[in-house]
Structure 1
Amino acid sequence: MKNSQGETPNPAPVEQTSVDQRIYPLHPFMLAVASVLGLFANNVKEAALGDILPALASVLGFALLLFLLLGLLFRGLGARTALLTSIVLVGCLFYARLWFWLDHKTGGVVPFGLFVLPFMLGLALLFILVARTRADLRLPHSILNGVAFFLMITPIAQVSWYTWQNARPGLVVATSEEVVAPVGDRPDIYYLIFDRYASAATLQRYFDFDNEPVLSFLEERGFYVAPGSHANYLKTAHSLASTFQMDYLDFLADEEGSRSSDWQPIYRLLGEHRVGRLLKSVGYRYVQIGSWWRPTQASSFADVNPSFGFREFTSIYVRDRLLNPLLHLIAPESPYTRSLQWDSGQCQRVPWQIEQVEKAASGSQPTFVFAHFLLPHEPYVFDAEGNCLSRPESRERGTKQGYVEQVRYANKVIRDLVTTLQAKKDRRSVIIIQADEGPFPETDVGHTRTWREATEDELNIKMGILNAYYYPDQDYDLLYPTITPVNSFRMLFDKYFDVGLGRLPDRLVGFPNIFRIYEFFDITGAVRATQD
């Protein structure tokens, strides 16, 4: 249209009142997706696609809300609004990752505090400049679309390539046996894992700690304590997978290749396993009370999955975003806020787990309760009474004493749980208290040296575990001093369900490091030789 002087005016650029079809405001949403997919690509060997969905949905919702609010403020949904939205998203979603990248490139010479303030001030100035400029913003908008697309497609390509390289038709594992259990002969079963709880011999020899009082307590309570028990594998995932499959994992070396570092096959064995299928086939209700670690945090196989705080992927994602300090500012005592800190989250989670175990079995249906306590596993934040220490207090105490104090606290938890569970006169309960592995030696084994090069002392520290059983009738004819976890449920099911599984040889199995987790080799002789 022309003005009264017959000229066509050249108005200052303003935002469109609706989304300009030529603008395609995609980069805010691609940046949001890229922030999630980048973390997923870095953890594709351990995370599953379903793990990222809560974070992905939340961040896309946040990006959309921010885009609409800024569109309302600036009266349009065109290039200006899209650029402003992306500036805010970069500040909220990428500030920590950018610092990690800069810290790595500069060799750690730029402190976080020195980086974040200028970075945020720079983004604020850029936001003001874009908000106030009268220039045509379509070119920078189009460039940012291209940059955001590259940032989004790169992790997609990485994940796709990894998935294609590791494509598999599915694991072939043993199926559960058909069993028939007489009604009334199905006690509740509590399987309580205390992560990295060393054997009494290890505690005495390497930590100068006498653990006899808690072992005597268990024996007085009718438990069978296996004094010569060892873990079957070096790491939690392998150990629990073999325990729940009631078999060794040799088939994984054939299916995955000995040099694979893909944890997904093992994690799948922890999601739906032979023990769970058998128990559910005879009418058990399955309750899983896990840690923050994804494979035990929840199971699709369980009937009940009490949850504390964020899931593992979401927690890691939020921890490096601006939402983390905002939550600590707005709601510092929220369980979600506390769970974002590894140490503080542990202080909140363990008491919650204890409560969940105590109330897990109810009603007429027999219940299987699996609880995974990260005790005496690091972080070493508890004293012997379960009080939570500050970070300076924990550092001052030191690693070795921190581990011993958490063994003391684990003992308190064991005493309290055993007393509570055995006091339920209306329910008969089997209780298995077991470690999945021992503590890691304070050496470079598993890092610069492989476990093939481990010394006898390093193997003894890592493999010796607590292993105690309570059967209501206290008939322990099937148990023996050197029983290992792979035989725990075999013996239990043969006793109560007459399955006829029998006993496997008690083998101890190592692998070089986390980069070759299926390169199995036998360490039974090396460990047992020092025990004789």
Structure 2
Amino acid sequence: MTGAERSGRPAGAGEPAGFPLYPLLIAAYFPLYLMSADLGMTNLSDVVRPLAVCVLAALAATAGLGLLLGDRHRAALWVALGLVITFDFRLLQRMIDGVFSFWIEELPGIYALAGMVAAAVLIGWRARPGANFSRVATVAAAVMVAFPAATLVHRGLMVNTASADGGGERGPGDAAFEAVRPGGDLPDIVHIVLDGYSRADMLERYYGFDNSEFLDGLRSMGFAVADGATSPYSQTLQTMTSVFTASDLDGVGGERTGADLRDALRARLRHNPVMATLERLGYETAALDIRYDPVRMDQLDRLLDRHVLSNFEITGLRQTVFYPIALKAGLREASVPPETFAKAYERELTGPYFLYLHLLAPHPPFDVTRTGEALPPEGGFWSMNDGAHYTEHRPEKREAYRRGYVEKLLYTNDGILGLVGRIIGEAKRPTVVIIHGDHGGGLWFDHDSAERSCMQERFSPLLAVHASDGRLQRDLPRDIGLANLYRVVFNTYFGTAMPLLPARSVFVGWKQPEFRRVVAPAELARTCGPE
């Protein structure tokens, strides 16, 4: 008989050794798995803080509950059950829906949560795990954690290798930008990207929406609209890297694949020659913070409206049980709040300045009405899923996409007209304003299948430009490829003579970004329709 049995205490209670580690490992698994599954869209360093918070919270909860119950192994089980419900609520809800699908299409979230909590309480109340259970659970949890940890270690080594090799910091076309020298009255530049904003002809054809009121409003302010503009890539990261390097990206990333390739592209975007040249010319550079890390320009002089929590932390919170509870309580904010359009960010800057505003509009989430009222996103969970990741090639989901896209587009149109009207009206210096979509909408797009994608819709973005002296409007080709955008700007205002690249559009795989297929002109001209 052990000393614990003779004293009447539960096995393991009050003993200094054998603290159960599996709740800490389960807590660590959640941020590690999310980071390993994000396909290179986020900085690796962003996992450190949520990892520490999760592990320390699990440690404190296990130790505190162990003192309260007088049994640390039982406390560990209670904490582990709580972590599983907190972090895996969405997965568990889908499993419950599958079980009850013969009876009810979808069990309301509050009932699913109540059922999970009741089951966890029953298990925690009845179970009496001991040291052996904790040891087995710890080994199982350690094996589980090892997989995402190994993935992240590999990715970290690849990032460090790329940095040591100077990867992502220069390209073959940078010499043309390096030849620019200060001189003349440099214009202020406002660059606005409306993520997923399609050209007018695509909106009419695929969304049944007439965008002439918005475009006429821009033209009345002196904008020129390129009604035949095309995107160089089907994804945001590649397109914006192409825009700010004024290149076709051939050779960027070398033989890297997956997350390693995206890391190389993100490094190239952060060290792009356009912004670097403007800084060298004496521009104050600034960007609005955005809930999308690939185009988050925190390397510039100023990051405006900086978020307290990182994008990775927000993504993690939205995967937990707390997010549907917050939505149920009415706590929500649009991905592009109305104040974004009302704030005069340009007034905070000293000319000449470069201001980059990348807005998640009209791109999902569809979480706002045309009047600016915040809505719970379609399906109940905030997500930037686009194309078939959203529609799943289902007619009813396509209709939800079309409806949400148009509603958010109307909201965006009103905000942009007010924003650029203020900038142009208050400008006291030569000013250039660029507005464009990085790519078109995703109603008929499949991230992982070129054959199931409507190339015409995806590669046809909005593009409108304004310059106070009218030169940029005159120099803008109507069928410009976005890779040439800053070639035209620099040729017009900074004395370069960069030749325009042949317009080229490239489909890129989502899960395999190394997969690239040049889209033939006939595909871009082909009208798509219902399957």
TM-score bin, normalised by smaller chain: 0.7 to 0.9
Q: Which residue of 2 aligns with 1:314?
A: 313
Query: For residues 379 and 123 of structure 2, what CA distance do their matches in structure 1 show?
Result: 43
Q: Percent identity?
A: 22
Establish whether residue 514 from structure 1 lines up as the match of residue 507 from structure 2: no
Query: For residues 277 and 496 of structure 2, what CA distance do their matches in structure 1 show?
Result: 10
Q: Which residue of 2 aligns with 1:350?
A: 337
Gap change, CA 1:363 and 1:353, over 3 Å in 2: closer
What is the TM-score normalised by the length of structure 2?
0.80
Mapped contact 1:35–1:93 kept (Cα < 8 A): yes
Q: Which amino acid aligns with 1:491?
A: V
Q: Which residue of 2 aligns with 1:3?
A: none
Mapped contact 1:225–1:468 kept (Cα < 8 A): yes
Matches within 5 A, 1:395-406: 398-406=400-408
Residue 82 of structure 2: which of 60, 85, 88 is its match? 88
Mapped contact 1:385–1:409 kept (Cα < 8 A): yes
Residue 58 of structure 2: which of 63, 79, 85 is its match? 63
Q: 1:158: how far off? A: 4.0
Q: 1:108: how far off? A: 9.5
Q: Which residue of 2 aligns with 1:429?
A: 431
Q: Which residue of 1 aligns with 2:250?
A: 250
Establish whether residue 462 from structure 1 lines up as the match of residue 455 from structure 2: no
SS at match of 1:250: coil
Mapped contact 1:238–1:266 kept (Cα < 8 A): yes
Q: Which residue of 1 aligns with 2:416?
A: 414
Q: Which residue of 2 aligns with 1:523?
A: 519
Establish whether residue 266 from structure 1 lines up as the match of residue 270 from structure 2: no
Gap change, CA 1:128 and 1:264, over 3 Å in 2: same
Query: For residues 390 and 94 of structure 1, what CA distance do their matches in structure 2 show?
Result: 20
Q: Which amino acid aligns with 2:250?
A: D
Establish whether residue 480 from structure 1 lines up as the match of residue 477 from structure 2: yes
Q: Which residue of 2 aligns with 1:177?
A: 178
- Higher radius of gyration, 1 or 2: 1
Q: 1:427: how far off? A: 4.1
Q: Which residue of 1 aligns with 2:359?
A: 373
Runs (5+) with no aligned partner, structure 2: 381-395
Q: 1:251: how far off? A: 1.2
Query: For residues 326 and 105 of structure 1, what CA distance do their matches in structure 2 show?
Result: 23
SS at match of 1:451: coil
SS at match of 1:189: strand
Q: For residues 6-27 of structure 1, what are the alpha-carbon distances to aligned partners after superposition, in whole Å with 9 as ceiling and x for unaligned? A: x99921126989771x213322
Matches within 5 A, 1:102-501: 111=107, 116-129=113-126, 137-160=130-153, 169=165, 170-171=167-168, 173-174=170-171, 175=174, 177-182=178-183, 185-252=185-252, 254-256=254-256, 262-301=261-300, 303-308=302-307, 310-325=309-324, 327=326, 332-333=330-331, 338=332, 344-346=333-335, 349-356=336-343, 358-388=344-374, 398-442=400-444, 445-447=446-448, 450-451=449-450, 458-476=454-472, 477-501=474-498
Mapped contact 2:198–2:462 kept (Cα < 8 A): yes
Establish whether residue 10 from structure 1 lines up as the match of residue 10 from structure 2: no
Residue 37 of structure 1: which of 32, 37, 57 is its match? 32
Mapped contact 1:298–1:305 kept (Cα < 8 A): no
Gap change, CA 1:90 and 1:475, over 3 Å in 2: closer
Query: For residues 186 and 43 of structure 2, what CA distance do their matches in structure 1 show?
Result: 35
Q: Which residue of 1 aligns with 2:392?
A: none
Gap change, CA 1:266 and 1:100, over 3 Å in 2: farther
Gap change, CA 1:326 and 1:404, over 3 Å in 2: closer
Q: 1:523: how far off? A: 2.7
Aligned-residue CA RMSD (Å): 3.8
Q: For residues 475-503 of structure 1, what are the alpha-carbon distances to aligned partners after superposition, in whole Å with 9 as ceiling and x for unaligned? A: 13432212222111122223322244342
The size of the alignment, in residue pairs, is 497
What is the TM-score normalised by the length of structure 1?
0.80
Q: 1:360: how far off? A: 3.8
Query: For residues 514 and 181 of structure 1, what CA distance do their matches in structure 2 show?
Result: 41
Q: Which amino acid aligns with 1:85?
A: V
Query: For residues 42 and 451 of structure 1, what CA distance do their matches in structure 2 show?
Result: 23
Gap change, CA 1:364 and 1:441, over 3 Å in 2: closer
Q: Which amino acid aligns with 1:193?
A: V
Deviates more, 1:84-93 or 1:383-392: 383-392
Q: 1:280: how far off? A: 1.5
Q: Which amino acid aligns with 2:350?
A: S
Query: For residues 367 and 60 of structure 2, what CA distance do their matches in structure 1 show?
Result: 39
Gap change, CA 1:248 and 1:438, over 3 Å in 2: same
Query: For residues 87 and 521 of structure 1, what CA distance do their matches in structure 2 show?
Result: 46
Q: 1:239: how far off? A: 1.1
Query: For residues 95 and 33 of structure 2, what CA distance do their matches in structure 1 show?
Result: 13
Q: 1:81: how far off? A: 4.3
Q: For residues 127-161 of structure 1, what are the alpha-carbon distances to aligned partners after superposition, in whole Å with 9 as ceiling and x for unaligned? A: 3346xx6xx83222222222222222232234446
Deviates more, 1:476-485 or 1:9-18: 9-18
Q: Which amino acid aligns with 1:181?
A: P
Q: 1:164: how far off? A: 7.1
Query: For residues 327 and 381 of structure 1, what CA distance do their matches in structure 2 show?
Result: 14
Q: For residues 356-382 of structure 1, what are the alpha-carbon distances to aligned partners after superposition, in whole Å with 9 as ceiling and x for unaligned? A: 4x2244253432111112222233444
Gap change, CA 1:252 and 1:474, over 3 Å in 2: same
Q: 1:104: how far off? A: 7.6
SS at match of 1:480: coil
Q: 1:432: how far off? A: 0.1
Q: 1:390: how far off? A: 6.2
Query: For residues 401 and 366 of structure 2, what CA distance do their matches in structure 1 show?
Result: 7
Q: For residues 265-305 of structure 1, what are the alpha-carbon distances to aligned partners after superposition, in whole Å with 9 as ceiling and x for unaligned? A: 33333333222211222222222224322212453345324
SS at match of 1:141: helix
Query: For residues 188 and 4 of structure 2, what CA distance do their matches in structure 1 show?
Result: 85
Q: Which amino acid aligns with 1:177?
A: E
Q: Which amino acid aligns with 1:371?
A: L
Q: For residues 42-69 of structure 1, what are the alpha-carbon distances to aligned partners after superposition, in whole Å with 9 as ceiling and x for unaligned? A: 2244333223223212212322332343
